[in-house]
Amino acid sequence: ETLRKYPPLPNILRNVTKPYQVPGMNVTLEKDCRVLLPVYAIHHDPQIYPDPHQYDPDRFNPDQCAARHPMAFVPFGEGPRICI
């Protein structure tokens, strides 16, 4: 919960390696486009974490974790070059 409230990486920057059509939108991210993932904003989104400014370790019990999108908690990044 502390890493959700105070992520060590406030943002993650990624480069698009091939054209990507965003599902459900008329948007294509072209190769070499840069994408900023706002980790702090995701971790404080009340639609994902109700009462986001309240410290609540129970958010990370197995049932609640399973109900969330897997990318809703990424304090260290994600993918093959994750920082830890």
Q: What separation, in Å, do the N-terminal and C-terminal C-alpha atoms of the chain show? A: 17
Q: Using CA atoms, how far apart are residues 84 and 7, in angstroms rounded to an integer?
A: 13
Map tokens 């054209």 to a residue: 19
Q: Is 65 annotated as a binding residue?
A: no
DSSP state of 72: G
**Which residues are documented as binding site for heme?**
83
Binding-site annotation, residues: 83
